[in-house]
């Protein structure tokens, strides 16, 4: 069974449930909850696109701005067959708390188009992207809402968005999206930022739990941008990556996979299957393998109350957004597993997106090492702040992260005078 079969649960309800837990712990006034809990703006668009065979196909797309209390909305665009409005609302909500956790001056947004990018030609993808950009154009912009890549979108797609937006203004506006190619105003270090941020938070968790990273056995579910980079950095730090999967299947080697070679293999063949020196296992066996660190880096709801029972990791590092359901969370918590929640764990991506936007706005670009150093500082500071709340308030690490993020948004809203 792979994730696409279990994605039916409503992730927006999970996002609301997590909000309530943190809001209760913060003892937030009901008026404040009414003001900050729900998306500020939702845009639903129909995208008629000429396909290569000549017919017009209509795609449905969304852009949700959950909050602009702390700055312009910020969040990725997802191309996937399972994209729904509720999923985009959940992802936009998490972006608000995430930007606040790492204390960058952005609110939360997210976009998505329900489509099967793997079955589309480059021409079809480009025409759909340009149509989508034109449709959401009235609400995006460097001061309003800044999209970025998410699942199955990449720097090329960001380049088309930037170009379409700039065409309407008559001059180049790189700050409208992040995750762009370097030659169009992208930032060095953006491509690996999410995985790198995941790595820094895992380092923090290992220090806290006194678990030597060099002795750790790691499983990565979802070997895409976030998962493969996190795997590579963990491997370089001496950890042993024993199993990974992608949408096509799983590979396992109990003595360790050669991550760099696996990345090359995936680039060449499009998936992890067929990698030499590894055996194929079933996706549901992956989560049950004995390991120290499990990195869910694919999609939402990957770990629920049923399969959480089998998880043997000491640390679950949520590289993906919303990979653990609230019920799954309770099971992991009862087993004493240290969960690094998504809004902290994968915040490296949006942090370097912020750096990219700053560089674009200033027309002054930084060296890769500057980006890494600043990212490390942000991730380690945020990890320490969340850990402090977790220990002081005796709440789960997820609730602690939500308390930090939601508390900052509530404070900004109060200071803006949006509620008495
Ligand atoms: P990606 O498209 O690069 O990779 C996704 C990977 O997941 C692919 O390898 C794909 O094969 C795999 N996958 C898809 N369906 C699967 C399934 N059913 N079972 C196992 N694997 C499956 O996407 P990404 O950018 O790495 O994003 C992954 C997750 O990380 C998403 O939840 C995304 O929202 C989150 N995230 C990404 C970034 C970023 O900067 N890329 C930032 C923050 C959060």
pLDDT tens per residue, range 133-156: 999 999 999 999 999 999 999 999
Q: Which of 202, 276, 196 is nearest to 239 (CA)?
A: 202
> Which ligand 1 atom lies nearest to the CA of residue 299?
32
**Residue 109: pLDDT above 60?**
yes
**Residue 394 known to be catalytic:** no
Q: Is the CB of 18 under 6 A from ligand 1?
A: no
Pocket test for ligand 1, best of 109, 125, 224, 371 (most atoms within 8 A of CB): 224
**Residue 7: pLDDT above 90?**
no
Q: Is the CB of 284 under 6 A from ligand 1?
A: no
Ligand 1 midpoint to CA 116 (Å): 14
* Mean of pLDDT over the chain: 95
Residue whose CA is closest, atom 5 of ligand 1? 224
Res 72: pLDDT = 98
Question: What is the separation, in whole angstroms, between the first and last Cα of the chain?
Answer: 50
Res 182: pLDDT = 97
**Structure confidence at residue 1 as a pLDDT band (50, 70, 90):** very low
Number of neighbours of residue 137 by Cβ within 10 angstroms: 16
The pair of structure tokens assigned to 328 is 């799954």
Q: Is the CB of 152 under 6 A from ligand 1?
A: yes
Q: Which of 163, 210, 212 is nearest to 185 (CA)?
A: 163
Res 146: pLDDT = 98
Model confidence pTM above 0.85:
yes
Q: Is the CB of 223 under 6 A from ligand 1?
A: yes
pLDDT digits (tens, 9 = 90+) for 160-171: 999 999 999 999
**Residue 67: pLDDT above 80?**
yes
Q: Is the CB of 117 under 6 A from ligand 1?
A: no
Q: Is the CB of 349 under 6 A from ligand 1?
A: yes
**Residue 8: pLDDT above 70?**
no
Res 360: pLDDT = 98
Ligand 1 midpoint to CA 290 (Å): 23
Residue whose CA is closest, atom 13 of ligand 1? 247
- Decide: residue 158, CB within 10 A, 0-12 exposed, 13-18 middle, 19+ buried: buried
**Residue 3: pLDDT above 90?**
no
> Which ligand 1 atom lies nearest to the CA of residue 223?
9
Q: Which of 213, 153, 218 is nearest to 349 (CA)?
A: 153
Query: Considering 37, 74, 98, 110, which one is annotated as catalytic?
Result: 110
Ligand 1 midpoint to CA 276 (Å): 23
Q: Is the CB of 346 under 6 A from ligand 1?
A: yes
Res 194: pLDDT = 95
Minimum mean pLDDT range among 14-18, 59-63, 67-71, 306-310: 14-18
Strands 240-246 and 249-252: antiparallel
């Amino acid at each position: 069974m792979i994730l696409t079969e279990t994605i039916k649960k409503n992730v927006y309800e999970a996002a609301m449930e997590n909000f309530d837990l943190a809001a209760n712990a913060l003892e937030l006034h009901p008026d404040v909850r009414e003001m900050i809990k729900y998306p500020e703006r939702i845009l639903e668009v129909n995208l008629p696109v000429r396909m290569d065979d000549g017919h017009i196909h209509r795609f449905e797309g969304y852009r949700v701005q959950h909050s602009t209390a702390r700055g312009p909305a910020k969040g990725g665009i997802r191309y996937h067959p399972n994209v729904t409005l509720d999923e985009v609302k959940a992802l936009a909500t998490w972006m608000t708390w995430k930007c606040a956790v790492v204390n960058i001056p952005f609110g939360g947004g997210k976009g998505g188009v329900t489509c099967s990018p793997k079955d589309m030609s480059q021409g079809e993808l480009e025409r759909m992207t340009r149509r989508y950009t034109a449709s959401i154009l009235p609400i995006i912009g460097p001061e309003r809402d800044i999209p970025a890549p998410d699942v199955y979108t990449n720097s090329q797609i960001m380049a088309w968005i930037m170009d379409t937006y700039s065409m309407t203004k008559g001059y180049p506006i790189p700050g409208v999206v992040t995750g762009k190619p370097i030659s169009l105003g992208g930032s060095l270090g953006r491509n690996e930022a999410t995985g790198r941020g995941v790595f820094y938070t895992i380092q923090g968790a290992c220090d806290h739990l006194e678990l030597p990273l060099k002795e750790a056995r790691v499983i990565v579910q979802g070997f895409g941008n976030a998962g493969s980079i996190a795997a590579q950095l963990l491997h370089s730090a001496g950890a042993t990556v024993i199993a990974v999967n992608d949408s096509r299947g799983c590979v396992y080697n109990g003595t360790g996979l050669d991550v760099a070679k696996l990345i090359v293999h995936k680039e060449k063949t499009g998936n992890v299957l067929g990698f030499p020196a590894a055996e194929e296992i079933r996706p549901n066996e992956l989560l049950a393998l004995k390991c120290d660190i499990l990195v869910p880096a694919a999609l939402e709801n990957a770990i629920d109350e049923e399969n959480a029972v089998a998880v043997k990791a000491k640390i679950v590092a949520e590289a993906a957004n919303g990979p653990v359901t609230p019920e799954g969370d309770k099971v992991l918590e009862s087993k004493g597993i240290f969960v690094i929640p998504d809004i902290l764990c994968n915040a490296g991506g949006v942090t370097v997106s912020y750096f990219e936007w700053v560089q674009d706005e200033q027309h002054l670009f930084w060296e890769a090492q500057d980006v890494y150093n600043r990212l490390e500082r942000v991730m380690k500071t945020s990890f320490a702040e969340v850990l402090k709340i977790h220990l002081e308030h005796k709440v789960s690490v997820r609730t602690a992260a939500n308390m930090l993020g939601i508390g900052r948004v509530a404070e900004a809203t109060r200071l803006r005078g949006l509620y008495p």
